[in-house]
Amino acid sequence: MMRIEPYVYQGRFESCCSKSHAQRILILAALYRKEVFIDHLFESRVGDDVGFMISAFRKIGYSFEENDSGLLMKPPKQNNKYSHVEINIGESGFGLRSFASVLSHFSKNYTLAGEKTILKRNHSSLIASIQDLGFDVESHHHELPIKITSSDTFLNDLHIDGSKGSQFLSGLLMWAIGCDKEVQIAVSNLKSIPYIDLTLDTISQFNGKVTNDGYRNFIIPGGQQLQCQRISVEGDWSSMSFHLVGAALNGEVEISGLSLNSKQADILILEVLRVFGAVIELNDTYIKVSKKEKKPFNIDLTDAPDLFPVLSILACGAIGKSILKGTDRLVNKESNRLKSICTMLDVFKVQYELSKCDISINGTGEVQGGEIVTFSDHRIAMSAICAGTISNASISIDNEDCVKKSYHDYFEDMCGILKNPY
C-alpha cells in the first residue's frame, strides 16, 4: 500500500491532455482517413484509456509518429475493411460504447474485449442499443467480449434512451459522420449533456455538420467530407480537479494549459470552488487556486458525475453540510462509485446521509487517517490522496497504479508540488 502523510499543496505545472477530447479526436481523425497532427498528445504520456485507443487504431492499420509537439496520425495505405478484428479497449467505457458503432466503418465483424473492472460490468443496455441499430451481437451473460456483425442496411432513423449516459450517443454521432446516407437520431432523457457538447464541438473542428434540435433530435447529413490537418488537445479539467480541490483545501497551485472556453463537463469545478470560498485567479496563461474560506455547497452533478469522488473530499473539508446531487449516475463506473465513496467516508469518520439521488456530507474541515480501498478506481485513489490535505494522520491506499487509467504522470506531478512528499 502507498502511504500519504498530511501535506500542503504548493507549486505549478502544466495540465495533462484531456482524455475525453483526445479520444474523440482520434476517432474523427481515423474517419478523416488522412494525416492529422495532434498537438499536445504524446503516446508516451497518455493515460491507459487513450493508450488503448491508439493501440486499437494501430491494429486496423493506422500508424503514429511522436515528436516534441505531439503525435502524427497516419491512415493505412488502403482503406479496405477487415474481415474481422479483435479490439482490446482496456477499461475504457467510452472506448467500448463508441467503438461499438464506429468500428463498423473499418471491419464487417469485430470483437470488443477489455480488461480488469470493465469485465465485471453488465453491458445489456449497450447490446440492446447496437441491436436496435440493426447489427448482430453475440455475448455471454451480457459481458465482454462482445462480437458484433455490422449491417450494410443499418437503420438510419434511430431512437435511443439517453438516461444511462451520453457515451453511446457520442459514438453514434461520430459513426454517423462516416456514413454515406443521412442519419437521424431521436433522444429521450439525455444525461451528461456537456459530453455531447464536447463531441459536437470536436466534430465541428473537423468541419463536420450536425443539426441539434434541443438535444432531442440530431440530423447528420450523409457523405460528409471532413477537413482537419492539425488539431490541439485541450488540457484536462477532470484530472486537474484533484489538484484544484487540494489547493482550495490547503495550499496554492497554479496550472497552465486549461481552456476557459472548454466544453468539458468538469469545468464545473470552478463554480463549486467559488461557492466553497477559494481564491481563484484566471488569465490567458494559467489558473491559480488557493485556500481561503471553507463554505459548504449544494451542487447537481448529474451532468458531471466524474466530479463526485473529489467533491466528496471537498465537502469533508467544508464547515457544514454539503449536498451532492445525481448519485444515480455512479453505479456502473470503474467501481460502484457511490459504494466506493461511502466506504472511503466511513474510513475518514465523516458523517453522511443518502437519499434517493443525492448524498449529504457533514464536513468538519478534517478527516481521520486510515487505509482506503480504491476498488481499482482511479478517481477514488486520487480523491483519497487529495484528502491528505485535511487529514490528521497518514492515509494509505491500495493499488495506486490504477491512476494511470486517466492520468499517466499523476505521481510525477504530485512529487513536484508537495511540501511534505509521501
* Per-residue model confidence as pLDDT tens digits over 204-242: 999 999 999 999 999 999 999 999 999 999 999 999 999
Residue 77 has pLDDT above 90, yes or no: no
pLDDT attached to residue 420: 52
Residue pLDDT, tens place only, 324-335 = 999 988 876 667
What pLDDT is recorded for position 334? 66
pLDDT over 50 at 269, yes or no: yes
Cα 328 from Cα 343, distance rounded (Å): 17
Could you give all domains of the chain from N- to C-terminal order, each with its CATH number? Answer: 2-16+235-417 (3.65.10.10), 19-218 (3.65.10.10)
What percentage of the chain reaches a pLDDT higher than 90?
87
Confidence band of 422 (pLDDT split at 50, 70, 90): very low
Tell me the one-letter amino acid at 133: L
- For the cut 60, the answer to whether the pLDDT of residue 382 exceeds it is yes
Chain centre to alpha carbon of residue 231: 19
Identify the pLDDT of residue 419: 57
pLDDT per residue over 157-206, tens digit each? 999 999 878 999 999 999 999 999 999 999 999 989 999 999 999 999 99
Quick: pLDDT tens for 270-305.
999 999 999 999 988 999 999 999 999 999 999 999
Report the side by side order of strands in the sheet with 136-140. 82-88, 107-113, 143-149, 136-140
Q: What is this structure's pTM?
A: 0.94
Average of per-residue pLDDT across 357-370: 97
